[in-house]
Chain A
């Protein structure tokens, strides 16, 4: 890799990210898959960094899952999105931050469509008023939650209690960064670093002491792909995508995968189990998998959060080898205890994946 060339590209793709005062919208599937990630984001930004991040229980799905599964018309999706934006304006905010990459891509697509077809925007404005009696508004700044953590990465590093470093060898951890396709592949100018060399997660890893792994299939899709996964007959394609990525990254022996998308950590995590149980192949060391974490979970680890409070027990691939490498203290007996010490149940052991 020619580092100077990438630096030039990154400098061309820098987006403006306001420092404070955001309207936050959650992701449908992240709340189910990795429920503590969004809570960690809010805790870090509000309580550790003192930022004004507002959220309301009245916001809904963006409609992205239905849209990408071809089960909902685009105008309906746009009206749902217009409602979210109207809630932002109603609560006195003009900066919009979303937790989901698919939502982010869809918001970018919608705003771009409205810019190109003002008559469609007028129609949506009318739909919004007829259906919800809300005033139409558009955000001044539309950003993804990972953009915000990227902006605060040095402040987080300043408060960090540990680095992304192997405490036994003193070497930086080898980190694979995986960006959700809808972050900047559709609109490269909307993502930090563009589509080819997105810098958003690289910046975080570098600031927190890790080393980025550059491997051939780095920009390949995680395999989610909506219809590839939802329809069982196509699910083999989803699995094969993930398999291709892991085969490509395996020779570099990564310690960790960091992602900024709801689907990517899920599929990079769960498909390791399916590949292991159906073919016997594992990609980590000594029969373990490679932990695939969200950027909030990684930020939480370097800031000293308890791994079980971060929800790391909800991952299929065991995180204990990573925690040992980083020197993170943890109590194995509390792994499957949820909030208030409630037993959340321990999954059955896997045959191949440790």
Chain B
């Protein structure tokens, strides 16, 4: 086989019917703001922890929506709750509260 230096990319297609949506529905009931995020990435751009670790609230919100629970927790693991993200969010989401709620709902401990 020839190595061209690039190859087929695994499909990113997700069938949401195959996942248990219970936790996501619980999160949205607690934190309706999770649904109004438009994934602009302002939170990630200003994140202090994000400069040194793969911390990203934008990715975490997307991950919980796509039933990737572990990935979401990993993306928030290094958050220090400094709150800079809440100052720049154009949708006015209480991001600190949202981060705590995600951790609470999805944490396996």
Contacts and interface: CB of A to CB of B under 8 A. Distances in A.
B4 A278 contact: yes
A351 interface: yes
A236 B9 contact: yes
Interface string A273-295: 01101111000000000000000
A233 B6 CA distance: 7
Interface string B1-42: 111111111010000000000000000000000000000000
Which size class do A's interface residues fall under?
Answer: 10 to 19
Interface string A209-229: 000000000000000000000
A236 B5 CA distance: 9
Contacts of B11: 240, 244
B20 to A, nearest CB: 28
A244 B7 CA distance: 13
A237 B3 CA distance: 16
B9 A278 contact: no
Nearest to B5: A232
A277 B1 contact: yes
Interface string A239-253: 110011000000000
Interface in A158-192: none
A239 B1 contact: no
B1 A278 contact: yes
Contacts, number: 33
A59 interface: no
A277 B6 contact: no
Contacts of A240: 8-9, 11
B5 A278 contact: no
A243 B7 CA distance: 10
Contacts of B4: 274, 277-278
Interface in A330-354: 351
Contacts of A243: 8
A236 B1 contact: no
Contact of B1 (A232, A233, A244, A280): A280
A151 interface: no
Interface of A: 232-233, 235-237, 239-240, 243-244, 274-275, 277-280, 351
17 contacts: A232-B5, A233-B6, A236-B6, A236-B8, A236-B9, A239-B6, A239-B8, A240-B9, A240-B11, A244-B11, A275-B8, A277-B4, A278-B1, A278-B3, A278-B4, A279-B8, A280-B1
